[in-house]
Amino acid sequence: MPMQFLKEDEPLKRTMSYLIGNSWVQAPSFIPEIKGEEDVDVLLRHTSAQPQNNPVIVPANKWPKIINNPKFVIGDTSRGVQQAQLFLENHPIIFFDPPELFRYTMGNELIKYSLRGDKKLKSLFVNLLKKNDKENALKLADPIFRPFIERQWNTIFQDLKIDIGQISNEENSGHIEKAWLDPRVDESYVQYMLNIGNSAIKMPNSTIIPPVPPLMKSSNRAVVSRIVSSNNAASVACQYLSNESKTKYILPYFHLYMDSDIVENSTGNNINTALKILEDGLNKNTSQQFSGIAITVNGYDKLFESDHITKFKMLINDAIMIGNSHSIPTILPRSTYYGLPLLDYGIRGYSSMMNGSLKYSKGGFSDDPDDKFGKVYLIDQCVELKKRDVIDYIRKNGQFPTIPGLPLYPTSEELLHDKLYRLNWSKPRKLSCIEEAKRIRKAQEKGIVNPAKLYINNSSNKDLNRI
Amino acid sequence: MMSKLSTLKLSDLERIDLPTDDIEDFTIDKEDRKQFDPEVRDIIIREKIRRAIRKYGENGLSIDEIMEVTKLSRYELTKHLEKLNNLREIYSQRKNAKSVQYYPNGKPLHQLGIKKIGDGNPLLEICIAQGAKESLFFYIVEKRYTILDGEVAEGAVMVPFNKIDEFIRSLMELKQSVEVDNL
């Protein structure tokens, strides 16, 4: 197992690369995050816009079901869909459980995820709930999810349109994140990580960002300890699988999932708590237990509008120093364009869901008909445009900026159909963030100082310009 | 100290510092194994058998002795012993009409490097393994890769370190005989 997961690139030593499995990834890199089959379809049809070894984040518990869909296993040359196997050989896979599923009331979204995206299991689950057999329905989900599901029965029944009357308060207690201290999570976490690790180690190159409790202002010592122990448990499970595999290894990232108000000085947990978790977690043993640090921040939008952004930069700077001292990279999952300015500090990877959202949404209907079409990322300006703004932009400029392998404008048919628009236009254009990361790396190669800041200064994103 | 991987709790990890080497000692019992995906269950069972034979089998272990150490059923044990035998991770010798003894077949020394041959299926993976009395072998594993199963070892051969020149010479002679035949 390698001990160095981060290296300076020869001969200039101005840029860095980080290791996932046996693949060296050029930093900084933009890492697209897949949610479902629609996103995989987009990635497999736009391979030329993704350089060799550019990683992809995938939903850990649903991934085997998604990638084993025959249309991806076989590929579809008529639609330009590359075979998944070829894609996987060229792109390291990062297994990631969306942390909001273990924190907020997510209703049907949590059920779909906990049942591994298996529609037959979901149908069985619904049928059992219709008979009010919650006990057997729960057994269909992996044990780790059960306490999180139990805390939101009301929403689940509503989402699934099942009417069995009012659920008792005891069974609908909210505060989803408190389920992290439930004995069933305590007992089933290692088993869950062994199952996820077993899926991950089958990929040619992969790593895991393990699910962890959120670090909130109000998190008590028990929760803080659980953040460290769940990371360690993921490492123990991965080391077990690596030992068994003999020729392949998998080593997880140390995951810190924190609220943005942690950087405020008010009462409760603060930057010191976050750094202590990282230091304690990474220094627990002398042997290498993690191949990177992943910091997922809840509330980037609030953070970039506040006066606390300087403190956040300090936190990120210190986290990167801790990572560097262990020869491991630090990445920011779910940071979208907010991750861009932090590349100058040494963040090696930043990511976004293909629809540009900061987290899974609970679903439901929106008043704005443009919402289901998704937003389109506009490179250089670092902003995301709704459909009406896209039409406006194209009227004025004729097309979007040219990026090899990506469409320049939506067709009239795509403008009428939301699914076509997402598949052929809004989601593929998200890959222009990969081009952004490449440009910043090129500037670093030339010895330009703070290239991300220079790039952002020319954009029209006011939030980013505050940093 | 903890003895069961599946019953290892987060709260256990919060109470103690876990040295990496302890992972070697993790085992799981029958009831716990039901909690796992079938594939993970097989991995854990095989690892349990492998470790038992490595630890106690230098002079050979009978199937009854392995049953005693691992607490596995004869049916389960037979299935996994056959798999481990095919992968040359263990080897068996018939002592008499009734008894077969199982021995460890060398520990791969991955720190010395792994060589891979072939891009498509099958893949050959070669590393050096250490056997009894510190003897060395080339451990050649045939693998297949699919998205569904990842890389799966299908069979293996152990070539003694000091026989490798002879092994290569024999292969070359066979190759030449095919080439001569084709002329």
Name the minimum distance, in Å, from the CA of B55 to any CA of chain A.
16
* A187 and A266 part of one domain: yes
Mutant choice from B9, B11, B13 vs A, greatest count of A C-beta within 10 A: B13
Domain count for chain A: 3
Which residues in chain A (85-144) have CB-CB distances under 8 A to chain B?
A: 85, 88, 143
* A413 and A291 part of one domain: no
Name the minimum distance, in Å, from the CA of A244 to any CA of chain B.
6
Residue partners of B98: CB distance under 8 A and separation at least 6:
none
Predicted confidence (pLDDT) per residue in A62-105, tens digit:
999 999 999 999 888 888 888 899 999 999 999 999 999 999 99
Segments making up each domain of chain B, as ranges: 10-104, 107-182
Is residue A396 within 8 angstroms of chain B, CB to CB? no
SS (H, E, C) chain A: CCCCCEEECCCCCCCEEEEECCEEEECCEEEEECCCHHHHHHHHHCHHHCCCCCCEEEECCCHHHHHCCHHHHHCEHHHCECCHHHHHHHCCEEEECCHHHHCCCCCHHHHHHHCCCCHHHHHHHHHHHHCCCHHHHHHCCCHHHHHHHHCCHHHHHHHCCCCCCCCCHHHCCCCHHHHHHCHHHHHHHHHHHHHHHHHHCCCCCEEEECCCCCECCCCCHHHHHHHHHHHHHHHHHHHHHHHHHCCCCCCCEEEEEEEHHHHCCCCCCCHHHHHHHHHHHHCCCCCCCCCEEEEEEECHHHHHHCCCHHHHHHHHHHHHHHHHHCCCCEEECCCHHHHHHHHHHCCCEEEEECCCCCCCCCCCCCCCCCHHHCCEEECCCCEEECHHHHHHHHHHHCCCCCCCCCCCCCCHHHHHCHHHHHHHHHHHHHCHHHHHHHHHHHHHHCCCCCHHHHHHHCCCCCCHHHC
Tell me how far the alpha carbon of residue A2 is from its chain's centroid.
25
Select from B10, B146, B150 the Cβ nearest to the Cβ of A230: B10
Does the distance separating the beta carbons of B151 and A202 come in below 8 Å? yes
Closest residue by Cα to residue A263 from A271, A253, A273: A271
User: Quick one: closest CA in A to B150, which residue?
Assistant: A202
Name the minimum distance, in Å, from the CA of A285 to any CA of chain B.
7
* A143 and A193 part of one domain: no
* A124 and A201 part of one domain: no
More confident position, B29 or A83: A83
**Peptide bond preceding A147 in cis form (omega within 30 of 0):** no
Determine, yes or no, domain membership for A451.
no
Is residue A283 within 8 angstroms of chain B, CB to CB? no
Q: Which of A173, A195, A225 is the last residue of a domain?
A: A173
Determine, yes or no, domain membership for A375.
yes
Mutant choice from A202, A241, A248 vs B, greatest count of B C-beta within 10 A: A202
* Percentage of residues of chain A with pLDDT beyond 90: 84
Is residue B52 within 8 angstroms of chain A, CB to CB? no
Predicted confidence (pLDDT) per residue in A189-214, tens digit:
999 999 999 999 999 999 999 999 99
Does the distance separating the beta carbons of A285 and B17 come in below 8 Å? yes
**Whole domain around residue A378: which residue ranges?**
371-430
Write out the CATH class of domain B10-104. Answer: mainly alpha
* Count of residues making up chain B: 183
Q: Residue B23 carries which side chain, given as an amino acid letter?
A: I
For the domain with range B107-182, which CATH number is right: 3.40.50.720, 3.40.710.10, 3.10.450.700, 3.40.50.620?
3.10.450.700
Does the distance separating the beta carbons of B46 and A195 come in below 8 Å? no
Predicted confidence (pLDDT) per residue in B122-170, tens digit:
889 898 888 767 788 898 888 887 766 777 888 888 899 999 999 999 9
Enter the pTM of the model. 0.85
Determine, yes or no, domain membership for A363.
no
Distance CA A242, CA A249 (A): 4
Does the distance separating the beta carbons of B39 and A229 come in below 8 Å? no
Give the mean pLDDT of chain B. Answer: 80
Predicted confidence (pLDDT) per residue in A154-178, tens digit:
999 999 999 876 666 655 667 899 9
* A111 and A48 part of one domain: no
Name the minimum distance, in Å, from the CA of B95 to any CA of chain A.
29
With 50 as the cut, is the pLDDT of residue B19 above it?
no
Tell me, what's the pLDDT at B20? 43
Quick check: helix, strand or coil at residue B106?
Answer: coil
Q: Residue B21 carries which side chain, given as an amino acid letter?
A: D
Tell me, what's the pLDDT at B109? 75
A73 contacts in B (CB within 8 Å)? 147-148
* A23 and A95 part of one domain: yes
Is residue A230 within 8 angstroms of chain B, CB to CB? yes
Select from A225, A229, A246 the Cβ nearest to the Cβ of B108: A246
* H-only helix segments in chain B: 10-15, 30-33, 38-56, 63-70, 74-86, 164-182
Q: Which of A114, A143, A173 is the last residue of a domain?
A: A173
* Count of residues making up chain A: 467
Cβ atoms of A93 and A206 within 8 Å: the answer is yes
**Residue B23: pLDDT band with limits 50, 70, 90:** very low
Token look-up 């249309």 returns A71
Instruction: Specify the CATH number for the domain of residue A215.
Output: 3.20.20
Lowest-confidence region among A125-129, A152-156, B63-67, B126-130: B126-130
Determine, yes or no, domain membership for A412.
yes
B125 contacts in A (CB within 8 Å)? 247
